[in-house]
Amino acid sequence: MSNPATSSLLPLCQLSAGSMGMVIELKGEGTFRQRVRELGFGESTAVKKVSGKSTIICQVNGTRIALSHDAARQIMVRPSHPPVSA
Amino acid sequence: MSLPAHVKSGTKQPVYAFVGNPNCGKSTLFNALTGLKQKIGNYPGVTVERKVGTAYSQHGQPMTVIDLPGAYSLAARSPDEAVTRDVLLGRRTNDTEMPDRIVCIVDGSNLERNLYLVHQILDLGRPVILVVNMMDLADKAGLKVRTGQLEQELGIPVIAAEASRGKGLIELKLAMSRPDLPLPHHRWDVPAAISSAVAEIQASLQDNDQKPPLIARAEALLLLTDQDQLRVAGSQPLSDRTAAILDGWKKRWSDEGTDWSGTLVGARYDAIGTLVQDCVQTSDQTVDQSTSDKIDAVVTHGFWGWAVLGGIMTALFLSIFTLAEHPMNWIDAGTVALADGVKAAMPAGDFRDLVTDGVIAGVGGVLIFLPQILILFFFIGMLESTGYMARAAFIMDRLMSRVGLNGKSFIPLLSSYACAIPGIMATRTIEDPKDRLVTILVAPFMSCSARLPVYLLMIAALLPTGEVPLATKVGLMILMYAMGTIGAFGFAWLFKRTLLKGEPPLMIMELPPYRRPRVKDVAMQMAERAGLFLKRAGTIILAISIVLWALTTYPKSDDAINPAEQVAQSYAGQAGKLIEPVIAPLGFNWEIGIGLISSFAAREVFVSATSVVFNVEEDEEDTAPLLEALRRATWPDGRALFTPLVCFTLMVFYVFAMQCVSTLAVVKRETNSWRWPLFQVGYQTGFAWLLCLIIYQTGTALGF
Ligand SMILES: Nc1nc2c(ncn2[C@@H]2O[C@H](COP(=O)(O)OP(=O)(O)O)[C@@H](O)[C@H]2O)c(=O)[nH]1
Ligand SMILES: [Mg+2]
């Protein structure tokens, strides 16, 4: 909970529902990373997490994308509104 | 050599391919343009649906139109996408001409993602028409797509459309009728980090694989992102030299730490970003997704989601088993009437018996399932066109991942409750080849409707008439379905841990927005499926019926007094006696053996086969005489044959054994080898035998 400007990266699965973030880094295998990028979910894309815990729905560029928890764990995002700033 | 269509104007019917992301409205547009002039089949070697139609230009000239499977990228991840890629690249010229011109359809409300595929296609250097569909949704989302600007920047015709209301159709037809479609200006700089590799691979493709220059460049770019190199049967392979160069570069980049695929995808998205910035105006109006979200909040909910899915499945099964009853009776009455008519019209003899007992009875016995199959496809069509199916797969993913599969296996398994064949065909959307194979292997465990008549007969035979409460019958029926389902999941779990080991795939899928279903499209899809099913009944099943008839009829004996004796010494009877030692420990005798063998045509044939074996005059709709005969049947030593235990064991055998030639044929075509269908015969029937042995022997020991 230090400085909101340099807020650390979170895996997408830990982003709280309703908040926005930006994709910074993709982990996992090459094929997975490529698929995610090709779906328009690559680095520096803005995402909004809509809902979900075990399976996750998020909004990317006007479409809803559903991911399993394991997939969401591979996508590192920087929250646009860190939880500390009310 | 394929020249652009405008060069050989008028000499040959132009070939158009329709390409786009899944759910962009491709099929709607294709149906509107080609109407009923469609030919639906399969790409040889893979069970990917091949749809080709004929449209007419403004001047009445016929044009061939191919509706390719939906794809997000030319870097294929599923057999569906591989077919799209290979047709476009002219790698399937054995069965499908390389299209001269390409119509790219994009969803206007999600241009950026949709343009990714277009960007890859523009590399091909062939004439392209861009259709920006779903303009109504784009409007609603506050997006103004300036098609004029897009046209200028890309140098190709761009058409705004709303396919579901027929808007833009005329404009598209006009553009397709143009003899001189321009080539796109697609000056796009390959990122420096990989450009020399692209050049080298391109040169090798031209020299060693005889590709025309532009295709070679496009293919070179593609090879860098086509990570798993998915090849489907019927597609031409890469030359060794080119493959070696490609591997060399990949090794080098891995050592240097260059993420070549990421670089390439990123560069494309950058170019698209610039394009979209110029051509799309966004207003501040926020996208109204509240309705979709409200529905999603319920149907993906941890509890309500399951409740909704359970409700829909219940409705589906109730409809399959109740609504279909009357039409099934009509078909049954129709076949009986037809057979009687033929009997009256033709002189008695082997040929008449072949027609009535072989052809009409055999094909009619399978046709009877048409109503159920139509109802199933009606449900699947409705669920797909409303957008719910993706949600069902989404919530099923939680359950499926426990056994190592993902949500996409749900639809094939669901379809298999009607018939394993459409179920196995539906596995083509599963990306991971191992998951696909596991789904194919376990799909036949789902109790298909062909087992239903056997269950019904056995339940009736098992429980003495009269005082049986309905609940017991229903309970037994549910038990059979539950056993099959548990078996499917259990074996999937086992296979994913042993034979086809692999990480559970990371599921990522698009959830399309909810839409009002278009009854016309659903009806058309049902008609397509029905057509495919009828074709199958008219070919494979017809042939098998004739063979089976011959096996139960020949060799003729001179002194057979009644049909039962005739059957007993026929080839089928001999086969039944041959397998009796194997099935006797399960409590089955050779007469049941004949039923088991004939079930290979279709499981429900068991009922008609036992009628023949026990010499019952087949009486339409009335199984009472057959039931009596079953109760009277004994072993040579006088023990009753169809004890409740044997009836139950027989039902269990039907749940698990692989007994369907048509399914085996589809699995063979799907997996491209006899290995997997034979494996299915072995493990399913082996398991069925073992389980039945345990049940029968334990049951006997306990005094049942
Ligand atoms: N709102 C809207 N819906 C459309 C339009 N075009 C097609 N649809 C609907 O989008 C859904 C998917 O269309 P389909 O043709 O099956 O897409 P495909 O997967 O690309 O073949 C169907 O429910 C269509 O009725 C359109 O222009 N506007
Ligand atoms: Mg379609």
Domain borders along chain B are 15-177, 192-259, 304-323+369-452+493-517, 554-701
Q: Which of B406, B390, B414 is nearest to B492 (CA)?
A: B406
B29 C-alpha vs ligand 1 centroid, how far in Å?
8
Atom of ligand 1 nearest to the CA of B385: 23
Q: Does A71 touch chain B (CB under 8 A)?
A: yes
Residue of A23, A36, A55 best to disrupt the B interface, most CBs of B under 10 A: A55
- Angstrom distances, CA of residue B252 to CA of B248, B258, B594, B614: 6, 9, 64, 74
Q: Which residues of A touch B502 (CB under 8 A)?
A: none
Q: Which of B139, B380, B515 to mutate to test the pocket of ligand 1 (most atoms within 8 A of CB)?
A: B515
Nearest CA residue ID for atom 7, ligand 1: B25
Q: Which residues of A touch B390 (CB under 8 A)?
A: 66
**Any idea which ligand is nearest the CA of B28?**
1
> Residue B110 and residue B98: Cα distance in Å, rounded?
28
Q: B60 to chain A nearest CA, in Å?
A: 39
Strand residues in B403-532 grouped as ranges (E): 508-511
Q: Does B435 touch chain A (CB under 8 A)?
A: no
The label of the residue with tokens 């719910």 reads B388
Q: How many CB atoms lie within 10 A of CB B282?
A: 13
Domain count, chain A: 1
Which CATH number is A65's domain given?
2.30.30.90
Q: Rounded to 5 degrees, what are φ and ψ at B591?
A: -65, -40
Q: Do residues B450 and B604 lie in contact, with contact meaning Cβ atoms separated by under 8 Å?
A: yes
Query: What is the DSSP track for B10-53?
Result: TTS--EEEEEESTTSSHHHHHHHHHTT-EEEEE-TTS--EEEEE
Instruction: List pLDDT tens digits, range B135-167.
Output: 998 888 888 999 999 999 999 999 999 998 899
Residues 6+ away with beta carbon under 8 Å from B221: B120, B123, B190, B198, B264
The label of the residue with tokens 């056993």 reads B483
Task: Say if A86 falls within a structural domain.
Answer: no
Tokens of B704: 């049942």
Tokens of B656: 């698990």
B515 CB less than 6 Å from ligand 1? yes
> Residue B164 and residue B221: Cα distance in Å, rounded?
35
B159 CB less than 6 Å from ligand 1? no
In single-letter form, the type of residue at position B430 comes to I
Task: Say if A30 falls within a structural domain.
Answer: yes
> Half-sphere exposure (CA, 13 Å, Cβ side) for B99?
29
Task: Say if A6 falls within a structural domain.
Answer: no
> Residue B541 and residue B661: Cα distance in Å, rounded?
9
Tokens of B88: 């476009």
Task: Say if A64 falls within a structural domain.
Answer: yes
Q: What pLDDT, on a 0 to 100 scale, did the predictor assign at position B530?
A: 78
| Contact across the interface for A62 and B77, Cβ inside 8 Å | no
Q: Does A65 touch chain B (CB under 8 A)?
A: yes
Residue B128: its H or E element: strand B128-133
Q: B114 to chain A nearest CA, in Å?
A: 9
| Contact across the interface for B116 and A38, Cβ inside 8 Å | yes
B20 CB less than 6 Å from ligand 1? yes
B26 CB less than 6 Å from ligand 1? yes
> Residue A56 and residue A58: Cα distance in Å, rounded?
7
B157 CB less than 6 Å from ligand 1? no
Q: Does A22 touch chain B (CB under 8 A)?
A: no
B23 C-alpha vs ligand 1 centroid, how far in Å?
6
**Any idea which ligand is nearest the CA of B106?**
1
Task: Say if A72 falls within a structural domain.
Answer: yes
| Contact across the interface for A64 and B513, Cβ inside 8 Å | yes
Q: What pLDDT, on a 0 to 100 scale, did the predictor assign at position B151?
A: 92
> Residue B314 and residue B655: Cα distance in Å, rounded?
20
What is residue B162's three-state secondary structure?
Answer: strand
Task: Say if A2 falls within a structural domain.
Answer: no
The label of the residue with tokens 């143009």 reads B178
**Least CB–CB distance from A65: residue in B228, B506, B511:** B511
Q: How deeply is B560 buried, as exposed, middle or buried, from its count of CB atoms within 10 A (0-12, 13-18, 19+)? A: middle
Task: Say if A4 falls within a structural domain.
Answer: no
Q: What pLDDT, on a 0 to 100 scale, did the predictor assign at position A7?
A: 61
> Residue B96 and residue B43: Cα distance in Å, rounded?
8
**Any idea which ligand is nearest the CA of B384?**
1
Nearest CA residue ID for atom 4, ligand 1: B164
B118 C-alpha vs ligand 2 centroid, how far in Å?
17
Q: How large a percentage of chain A has pLDDT more than 70?
A: 85
> Half-sphere exposure (CA, 13 Å, Cβ side) for B529?
26
Q: Do residues B430 and B439 lie in contact, with contact meaning Cβ atoms separated by under 8 Å?
A: yes
Task: Say if A84 falls within a structural domain.
Answer: no
Residue A22 domain boundaries: 14-79
Q: What pLDDT, on a 0 to 100 scale, did the predictor assign at position B21?
A: 92
* Residues A64-74, mean pLDDT to the nearest whole number: 88
Atom of ligand 1 nearest to the CA of B105: 20
ipTM (interface pTM): 0.85
| Contact across the interface for B113 and A35, Cβ inside 8 Å | no
Instruction: List pLDDT tens digits, range B617-645.
Output: 554 445 566 778 888 888 888 888 889 89
Q: What is the mean pLDDT of each run of 10 residues along chain B (704 residues)?
A: 45 88 89 75 57 87 91 84 87 82 93 92 90 91 89 93 92 91 80 87 87 82 70 66 87 85 88 88 65 83 88 82 82 85 84 81 74 82 85 84 82 84 81 86 90 83 68 83 93 90 77 84 80 73 77 75 74 89 93 86 78 62 68 85 92 94 84 91 96 95 86
Instruction: Report the 3 state secondary structure along B281-338.
Output: EECCCCCCCHHHHHHHHHHCCCCHHHHHHHHHHHHHHHHHHHHCHHHHHHHHHHHHHH
**Any idea which ligand is nearest the CA of B49?**
2
- Angstrom distances, CA of residue B643 to CA of B408, B463, B576, B693: 42, 10, 20, 15
**Least CB–CB distance from A37: residue in B262, B297, B513:** B262
Q: Which CATH number fits domain B15-177: 3.90.1530.10, 3.90.1150.10, 3.40.50.720, 3.40.50.300?
A: 3.40.50.300
Residues 6+ away with beta carbon under 8 Å from B255: none
Q: Which of B477, B415, B412 is nearest to B448 (CA)?
A: B415
Residues 6+ away with beta carbon under 8 Å from B36: none
> Model's pTM, two decimal places?
0.76
Tokens of B228: 């798993």
